[in-house]
Structure 1
Amino acid sequence: MTNCRNCNFTINEENNYCSQCGAQVIKDRITLKSLFSNLLIALGWDSNFVVTLRYLVYKPQVVIEEYLNGTRKKFANPFSLFAIITALSLFAFSQYSNQYRLMSKNLGPEQIEKSEKPIHDINKNKDVPIFGYKNQDDFNNSFLDITLKYFNILAFLFLPIYTFIARITFGKPYNFGEHLVINIYLQSILSFLGLLLFILSLTIGVNLYFSFIMLLPILYYCYTYKKLYRLTFGQLLLKFLKFVVIFLLLFLIPVLIGIFLTLE
């Protein structure tokens, strides 16, 4: 017999939890491994995250259909998954912000060491003002600064936009909430793969990240929705064109408004 260290209630030594206050009985000493494990648990990370990421890579429709149909224990919660991956991405991009800028311009990370100029002086077009900025490069750098500073917020804000477009494009049998879950899962795995490719690009000195963010999301979205809706190639092509048109209209309108305000 022993006493609970939280409420001093007498408990059996083999018990893992106190029957009086419900606190966990701590038997092991604190180690770095235990601290890291407790941190992941506090953030919502568990073994299901690895299973979920693995399935999302090659069988995303399985994760989505089972979760929407009520199988919630087998796979990770989509919001927790997205929040953790977004936080990890923000940390990595912030730590290597210069490399992130160069990759976003489709330049290799090795150019940082080769270039003696500051990041803001690379490929500057000095005579082309845009949106109140001196040139395109200043505009791009300002845009990247905002992206890095508000990365988490922007990631969550874009989710309902993607969901809205997907809901209009693909429609039933899924409602808006279910399309939101679908897009959270898709954006989670895309962010995770993007993070891995970003780290790999830093390691091998080849810009794989830019190619990823331009092509793979399109292919992955098409593959997943084709599986979910059992579409033929022709049906998928029509849906894709519809998606692109809606996407361009939604994002073109703010750009045109910005240009109009700039010209005033």
Structure 2
Amino acid sequence: MNCKTCDKQLVDIDKFCSNCGAKIVHERLSFKGTIEEFIGPFFSWDNNFWRTFFGLFKNPKDVLEAYINGARKKYFQPFSYIILYATVAVFFYKLFPMEIITDYSEGLNKDFNSTNANALKFDMKSYMETLMNYYNFFVLLLIPLYALTSYIIFNKRGHNFFEHLVFNSYLQSNLGFISLVLQVILVNFLGMSFGIYSLLFLFLFILFTLYAFKKLYHQNFKQSIFSAIKYLLLFFGLYFGIIMIVFILIGIIYALIVLK
């Protein structure tokens, strides 16, 4: 008998190929086998997903450094972790939408029309629904900004920007999975306002991120507090700087369209 993946010769009692590590499958594909192949591994407590998720709480240093040190199969790969979270988040928000959207379109368009009769209609409700429904997905777009922030703060620790990109991919994806659970419990079921939920999650984000870097760089309490202050000031400085640039660009584009 030969391995179906690499064609290495095997013995009948082998369950895995000693050359490529592929699982040896003898049975034909069936309904039960399909369930085991596609659903079973994800819910297995010994698979890479759960090992990565809980490892980031129990031993974040090992998880964060494993990928950049070459241990690529020990934990879930960081960018696959992002894709998995983004996919789950899209379906999640379809199942558990946040019914907290207020329609500001009428007032906004009234202000625009008072200054220009040809002003474009802006559907604020649709915009807010899109923002809320894909809130966590948009957060992932900020991962390079998180990476830049931690790289600047910890630039003397020896890790480059791309390694910090890996670190923050793990951390923000893990926080994303947690936020999905918190949202459905606190916002959808218990009726907590999105504003309070956002503040709670911001606190959780700060706590978890700094905990992970504290473990990664063996910081004491005083160093962690100092790093937290620098992190918050730098991140929000960069964040609001980018927001201002985006609004300026949108304003320029809008002015060009209206004045055309």
- Normalised to the residue count of structure 2, the TM-score between the two structures is 0.68
CA contact (8 A) 1:48 1:74 kept: yes
SS of the aligned residue for 2:108 comes to coil
CA spacing shift, 1:140–1:221, aligned 2, 3 Å? farther
CA positional deviation for 1:101 = 4.9
- The one-letter amino acid of 2:184's match is I
* 2:178 equivalent among 173, 189, 193: 193
State whether residues 214 and 224 of structure 2, in contact with CA within 8 Å, keep that contact through their aligned partners in structure 1: yes
1:194 Cα deviation from its structure 2 partner: 1.2
Which position in structure 1 is the counterpart of 2:154?
170
CA-CA distance at 1:93 after TM superposition: 0.7
What SS class does the counterpart of residue 72 from structure 2 fall into? coil
Partner amino acid, structure 1, of 2:35: F
Partner of 2:107: 127
**Per-residue deviation, residues 41-64 of structure 1 (Å, max 9, x unmatched):** 999x97121111012235433321
User: Which residue is equivalent to 1:35?
Assistant: 34
Does the CA-based 8 Å contact 1:4-1:25 persist in structure 2?
no
Q: 1:169 to 1:244 in 2, by over 3 A?
A: farther
| CA–CA separation in structure 2 for the residues paired with 1:258 and 1:204 | 37
The 1:256/1:203 distance shift into structure 2, 3 A limit, reads closer
Q: Distance in 1 between matches of 2:135 and 2:103?
A: 25
Partner of 2:207: 219
Which residue is equivalent to 2:242? Answer: 250
Q: Judging changes above 3 Å, is the alpha-carbon distance between structure 1 residues 23 and 233 closer, same or farther for their aligned structure 2 residues? A: closer
> Structure 1: how far apart are the matches of 2:149 and 2:120?
31
How many residues in Structure 1 have an aligned counterpart in Structure 2?
233
**Long gaps (5+) in structure 1:** 106-121
In 2, are the aligned partners of 1:81 and 1:188 still within 8 Å (CA)? yes
Distance 2:72 2:186 in 1: 35
Mapping of residues 1-264 of structure 1, within 5 Å: 14-16=13-15, 24-27=24-27, 30-32=30-32, 34-39=33-38, 47-96=47-96, 99-102=97-100, 122=102, 124=104, 126-129=106-109, 138-145=123-130, 148=133, 154=138, 157-172=141-156, 173-201=158-186, 204-207=189-192, 210-211=197-198, 212-229=200-217, 230=219, 231-263=223-255
| Paired residue type of 2:57 | V
**Is the Cα contact below 8 Å between 1:4 and 1:11 reproduced in 2?**
yes
3-state secondary structure, aligned to 1:100? coil
Deviation at 1:248, TM superposition (A): 1.7
Provide the aligned C-alpha RMSD in A: 4.1
Identity of aligned residues (%): 26
Query: Is the 2:16–2:23 Cα contact (8 Å) retained in structure 1?
Result: yes
What is the CA distance between 1:16 and its match in structure 2?
4.2
Unpaired segments of 5 or more residues in structure 2?
Answer: 113-118
> Please, what TM-score do these two structures have when normalized by structure 1?
0.67
Question: Would the alpha carbon gap of residues 85 and 263 (structure 1) be closer, same or farther in structure 2, given more than 3 Å must change?
Answer: same
SS of the residue 2:34 aligns to: helix
How many Å apart are 1:232 and its aligned residue? 3.9
Distance, in Å, in 1 between the alignment partners of 2:103 and 2:121 is: 13
Cα distance in 1, alignment partners of residues 167 and 3 from structure 2 = 44
Instruction: Quote the Cα distance in structure 2 between the aligned partners of 1:11 and 1:57.
Output: 40
Alignment CA distance shift 1:17-1:243 (3 Å): closer
Conserved in 1, the CA contact under 8 Å of 2:103 and 2:124? no
How far does residue 184 in structure 1 lie from its aligned partner after superposition? Answer: 0.5
Work out the CA distance in 2 between the residues paired with 1:62 and 1:23.
27
**1:91, CA displacement in angstroms?**
0.8
**What letter corresponds to residue 244 of structure 1 in structure 2?**
F
C-alpha deviation, 1:198, in angstroms: 2.6
